[in-house]
Chain A
Amino acid sequence: MSTTSPPPSPPSSRPSPSASTSSSNDDQLQTPRASTHPTTIALAEDYFAPPLPPRPSLEVNTSNVLLSIQSATSSGASTPGLQAKPTTAISLPEGVHAQQQDAVVNGSGSITGAPSFSDSVSVNSLVPTLSAGDNDVESMLGEILEEEGGFLKARRDIINIGGGGAGIEEVEFWDEGWDGSSDDEGLGEEELVARWRARRKHFFILSSAGKPIYSRHGDESVLSGYMGVIQAIISFFQDDNDTLKSFSAGKHRFAIAASGPLYLVAISSMGESDSQLRSQLDALYTQVLSTLTLSQLNKIFAQRENFDLRRLLGGTEVFLDGLSDAMTLGSPQVLLSALECVKMRKSHREKINSILLKHRSPSLLYGLVIADGRMVSVLRPKRHSLHPPDLQLLFSMLFNATTFRDGGEHWTPICLPKFNSKGFLHAYIHFFRKEVAVVLISANKDAFFEMREMKEVVVEQLEKAGSIKIIEAAVSNGRYTATDVLSPGTPIRHFLYRSKNNVQFTMPSFEPHFYTIIARRRLMNLYQRLHAAVHAKNALLKVHHCIRSSSVSLSWVTPMFELYCVAVAGTNRATLVKSATAIAAWVKREEERLFIGGVVSSPFVHDFYQRGSRN
């Protein structure tokens, strides 16, 4: 494939990624509808020869240029000056692909031949620059789109989370209907593309050959050209043994993960840090692996670089979609890499544990009782830990999609990549109550009836012991609230507490203060920022206090836990600290109810095996 310039844009010179990209996208790139609205070209890169060695910067030259990149690395002098007008036009529908070949050569006459980018351009450290002033921001996708059609604007709720001018535009991410819903039917391709671009967050998966595999939004016609360009950009840097990890375009952060033969790309204007975006990509990658296994994935692409993986992933889009949406909404699980338990009395949980243990069948590897997306009980062999990413995968499949929630019994192959990325396990999944499931995992693909029998006995025993009622009550009562933990008048609105030992977290209900999706999204966004601040690479922060117009927040990291709490605006520091201390003390007191001890990823022998034996 190759890149092209939009017709209206001036000729340009640029490093051409084309050489290394696959030709498979050619046809798609020829999409007709080009000229209709040239100004909406999605992304145009502009490489600019840095005047000064240390910071090769990529600046915006024309109003058409939407993306500017600046490399923060400094190997200056050797950096080839690359000046180009919009080149890598990612805009598919503009279809302007014809001119690209010559685009490589002219422009300012500076270096053009592709891979002459030296190592100096380490994208690893790219820093967003909006050097051309705010005009660039103005020309960012969103604004363009707003100009395009007022309806987009109407669909958007602008929220300013706090200081620093960091306005976050919240998209109604739950509205995912445009590619299928009736209100799109009258829309032309431009509008579809415009709406697609208006999304505040995108996830893409493509093969290293540039074949589209997955996108949360948009269909083939919108996507294929973009996929090609993404592949081109990534492989351009790879040609120099450099790895493109992230870059910014205005408010949009692009994070890229090259995982095996796949490229995963997140584009977000929601303010996540690179590492947060990357852990989201990891979660998606884990989902892909769970369907295919790593060895199969590698084998497929070793045999045929051009393989269209969508054929093999068919049917799992719902899981990828569910996970993507959860992460767009803001997933504490993914943010904290931890799981949540249903809070219940220790004796109640032990009863459930012992029933599982007593009736476990020989082929059982892992046994779980899960309710409402939270763990109730986990049974595992002494020497096999359960890794949070694997569990998250399972939870996401169970609760972010409806596939398994029809009340039927399911038997499905599943790869838990952290357990073993090379092979499949087999999961018996049954929601025996609306929100309560038993999951029994075996390495034996023929163990269905064995697992089924175990489930029948276990459910019967749980019923008899009254445990099911307890679980259902815990689910229907919802989580505790901040006022349960602190005094009724507490200024604390919400908190996240992550226990490092248990790799689990606990939090109060999102109600009443974060009842709406927008409010919840704002809250999660704030948590993302707090989390990023204390997890920045060089951060030695243990306590981080943040005052904004809308809230006051505190992050507190100790060797035992991470605590993030959010209070109403105007709360003074002393009150905040006192509350945080009280939360930590409360969690410690309630630890055995809030967390399952020693189960998840614990290096220790799980002790309920011993305890269970007394039954």
Chain B
Amino acid sequence: MASRDEAPKLSSSVKLVLLGEAAVGKSSLVLRFVNDDFQENKEPTIGAAFLTQKCALPSRTIKFEIWDTAGQERFASLAPMYYRNAQTALVVYDITKPTSLTKAKHWVSELQRQASPGIVIALVGNKLDLAATTASDGGDADGGDGGDGGDAGSRAVLTAEAKAYADEEGLLFYETSAKTGENVQSVFEAIANAIPENTLKPRGGAGGFAGSGRGGGAGGAGGSGGEGRVGTAVNLEDGVGAKDGCAC
């Protein structure tokens, strides 16, 4: 158990968290990755869903423990619970909805401030299948309106723009379609490959859930048995306050 990466064929658990605005397709990405399935009009996630999926790499097997969080703002204050100790995060936006990229940028900077140092972040533009009708220029993209833009189904965030941001921040970057499956597997493989060896630890035996913040270990952030320590009571009010501010 204690042995770290000595074993020749490694099997490691990786804690992954999905973040992003509501309705960008986080759950659909996971559903595609885990079950190779897609549902139209999926009901919104409430709280968070937990899923696992293995990803076989040439040198090792990664078992993703995936926290698929709800995108609604009222759950924002719960997010630290899910990204704490996460070794990797998928920050998802909707390529037909510019505001979702803005929200994604907020998540990225929060992760950079608060999550484990060394966390691997991937920026993912989802709904690539809707990109068929591309906006001709950036002007459209900026002018694109929120929800309705999504339904209209044309690209409103240029690949180059998001890519430039991702490069600047040192993020992995992909555009995906959970609907067609395009690039979904690639994202997770890329993440699996990007995780530094030294942050991986062998999977615990059965019952290894005991306690907590498993998967921890990234840099100094990990601490085992760490659940419940941070005194942040579940406090949706924070979220409210924030929302309140921009509500008008």
Listed in ascending order, the chain A residues whose CB lies under 8 Å from chain B are 291-293, 296, 299-300, 303-304, 306-308, 311-312, 314-316, 318, 401-404, 406, 408-414, 423-424, 426-427, 444-450, 452-453
Q: Provide the B215-248 mask, 1 if CB < 8 A to any CB of A, else 0.
A: 0000000000001100001101100100110011
Known: A307-B244, A312-B74. 13 other contacts (CB 8 A): A300-B244, A307-B247, A311-B243, A312-B243, A315-B46, A403-B43, A403-B44, A404-B46, A413-B47, A413-B234, A444-B228, A445-B234, A452-B50
Are B46 and A314 neighbours in the complex by a CB distance under 8 Å? no
Are A453 and B45 neighbours in the complex by a CB distance under 8 Å? no
Question: Do A413 and B81 contact each other (CB < 8 Å), given the known contacts A449-B212, A452-B50?
Answer: no
Contact of B236 among A402, A408, A409, A424 (CB under 8 A): A424
Are B51 and A300 neighbours in the complex by a CB distance under 8 Å? no
Are A409 and B50 neighbours in the complex by a CB distance under 8 Å? yes
Q: Name which residue of chain A comes closest to B237, CB basis.
A: A296
Q: Name which residue of chain B comes closest to A180, CB basis.
A: B41
Which of B105-113, B137-145, B176-184, B203-211 makes up part of the contact surface? B203-211
Q: List 23 A-B contacts (CB under 8 A).
A: A299-B237, A311-B243, A312-B72, A312-B73, A312-B240, A314-B22, A314-B44, A318-B43, A403-B46, A410-B46, A411-B47, A412-B46, A412-B47, A413-B47, A413-B78, A413-B234, A424-B234, A426-B47, A445-B78, A446-B81, A446-B227, A449-B209, A453-B209
A34 to chain B, nearest CB (A): 25
B131 at the interface (CB under 8 A from A): no
Residue from B22, B210, B247, B248 with most neighbouring chain A CB atoms (10 Å): B247
| Chain A residues within 8 Å of B48, by CB | 410-412
B93 to chain A, nearest CB (A): 17
User: How far apart sit A293 and B22, CA to CA, in the bound complex (Å)?
Assistant: 21
Q: Name which residue of chain B comes closest to A405, CB basis.
A: B43
Q: Name which residue of chain B comes closest to A397, CB basis.
A: B46
Residue from B43, B228, B233 with most neighbouring chain A CB atoms (10 Å): B43
Are A300 and B240 neighbours in the complex by a CB distance under 8 Å? yes
B76 to chain A, nearest CB (A): 11
B:25-78 near A, CB below 8 Å? 43-51, 70, 72-75, 78
Contact of A409 among B49, B75, B212 (CB under 8 A): B49
B214 at the interface (CB under 8 A from A): yes
Are B247 and A296 neighbours in the complex by a CB distance under 8 Å? no
| Chain A residues within 8 Å of B236, by CB | 292-293, 296, 413, 424
| Chain A residues within 8 Å of B228, by CB | 444, 446-447
| Chain B residues within 8 Å of A311, by CB | 73, 243, 247
| Chain A residues within 8 Å of B247, by CB | 304, 307-308, 311
| Chain A residues within 8 Å of B212, by CB | 446, 449
| Chain A residues within 8 Å of B211, by CB | 449-450
| Chain A residues within 8 Å of B237, by CB | 296, 299
Contact of B22 among A292, A315, A414, A449 (CB under 8 A): A315
User: How far apart sit A316 and B236, CA to CA, in the bound complex (Å)?
Assistant: 15
